[in-house]
Amino acid sequence: MRTLGEIAETVGVPLRGGDVATPVTGVATLQSAKPGQISFLINPRYRQYLSNTQASAVILSQRDADSCCVPMLVTDNPHVVYAHVAALFAPAPPTTRGIHPTACVSPTAQIADATWIGPHSVVEAGAVLEEGVIVGPHCVVGEFAVLGSNTRLVASVTVCHGVRLGQRVLVHPGAVIGSDGFGLANDHGQWVKIPQLGGVQVGDDVEIGANTTVDRGTLEDTIIEQGVKLDNQIQIAHNVRIGAHSALAGCVGIAGSARIGRHCVLGGGVGVAGHLDIADHVQITGMSLVTDSLTEAGVYSSSLPVQPHRRWNKISARLRQLDGLARRLFALENKCFSDDPTKRR
């Protein structure tokens, strides 16, 4: 049991109003919070629920403080403060240490203290698990792979040979790191496999989502820099580099040798072609396609939102005529502006 006062102290935000001794049992939304729960106001669309919340305290920013009738944690960044408060109530990772009797661990693997290798997991020859590593059930850690300290494979994760994960890396179920890149040479119509001899380097504090795949490099390594966050169902091809602190939403695909800058944000389903560079601080909206390097920070898009199908069909048909329409427009201009030579094209 924690109290409001303890929580405020832990996250370093003064409690405004309320009794520091109020017991707190968890976090909840403004609408559903009961007494004993802490809530938060981040997205303005939920401001309407502030006045009636039963929460014992609300994390919010100064601009919303006047509308709040319950105790508050007022901060410049309620999202981050909420994250820290919620972490106090998150289920702890497994605390068991050791090797489950059904796990297969090579005698040449180096297993540090305070690690856990779960049921049916396989750790191959020469692999290194640093202190505090947690390998959940049904994982495979390939030969000479390295898992940095406090890294966690949640369950059913495959880390292929020689892959290096940093510290505090969190990998969700079904992810595959270090599978072969898609390297092919065409010999008179038949494909010859290019051996994929590089590895994968994953920096500290990276999170990799469920069923996401990261291919090993062809010769040099695929690199995911520190603090990168990858959502589910993402495909990272060989020799890609993702700059530090970038976040990629679900279903993104990055083709081979593309380089994504630092602090980039890619929306869901974005595609990035191979062999190009994206600058730092670039944002791409969902389902857009990047086919050329982007040298300047900013927001980029190429996706089209839905229309009623019949209307869209007309638009799509006109789009196929667009070059012809443009030429007809130019012809008209030539005719109509023929008396005005400055307007001719």
Residues 24-63 that bind a copy of itself (CB under 8 A): 26-29, 32, 43, 45
Q: Which residues pair with 87 in a beta bridge?
A: none
174 binds a copy of itself (CB under 8 A): yes
Query: DSSP string of 85-102?
Result: HHHTTSPPPP---EE-TT
Q: How far is the CB of 211 from a copy of itself (least distance, A)?
A: 5
Residue located via tokens 């609408």: 31
197 binds a copy of itself (CB under 8 A): yes
Stretch touching a copy of itself by CB under 8 A, among 1-9, 12-20, 108-116, 293-301 = 293-301
Burial call 278-292: b when 16+ CB within 10 Å, e when fewer: bbebbbbbbbbebee
Q: How far is the CB of 120 from a copy of itself (least distance, A)?
A: 5
Q: Is 106 helix (H, G, I), strand (E, B) or coil?
A: coil
String of contacts with a copy of itself for each residue 218-257, x by CB under 8 A: -xx------x-x-xxx-x-x-------x-x-xxx-x-x--
Q: How far is the CB of 143 from a copy of itself (least distance, A)?
A: 9
107 binds a copy of itself (CB under 8 A): no
293 binds a copy of itself (CB under 8 A): no
Q: How far is the CB of 25 from a copy of itself (least distance, A)?
A: 12
Residues 146-165 that bind a copy of itself (CB under 8 A): 154-156, 158, 160-161
Residue 71 or 256: the one with the smaller Cβ distance to a copy of itself is 256
- Give the burial class of 62: count Cβ atoms within 10 A of its Cβ; 0-12 exposed, 13-18 middle, 19 or more buried: exposed
In this structure, are residues 147 and 109 in contact, taking their beta carbons and an 8 Å threshold? no
In this structure, are residues 230 and 236 in contact, taking their beta carbons and an 8 Å threshold? yes
Q: Among 10, 67, 191, 344, which residue interacts with a copy of itself (rule: CB under 8 A)?
A: 191
Interface with a copy of itself: number of residues (CB under 8 A):
131
Q: Angle between the 309-320 and 322-336 helix axes, to the nearest 10 degrees?
A: 60
92 binds a copy of itself (CB under 8 A): no
* End-to-end C-alpha distance for the chain, whole angstroms: 76
Residue 149 or 301: the one with the smaller Cβ distance to a copy of itself is 301
In this structure, are residues 239 and 254 in contact, taking their beta carbons and an 8 Å threshold? no
Q: Which of 265, 277, 263 is nearest to 301 (CA)?
A: 265
245 is catalytic: no
Q: How far is the CB of 82 from a copy of itself (least distance, A)?
A: 7
275 binds a copy of itself (CB under 8 A): yes
* Active-site position among 84, 100, 138, 238: 238
Q: Among 20, 83, 112, 114, which residue interacts with a copy of itself (rule: CB under 8 A)?
A: 83
276 binds a copy of itself (CB under 8 A): no
Instruction: Give the largest CA-CA distance in the chain.
Output: 91
Question: Among positive and negative, which fits the CA dihedral 92, 98, 103, 107?
Answer: positive
Q: Which residues are catalytic?
A: 238
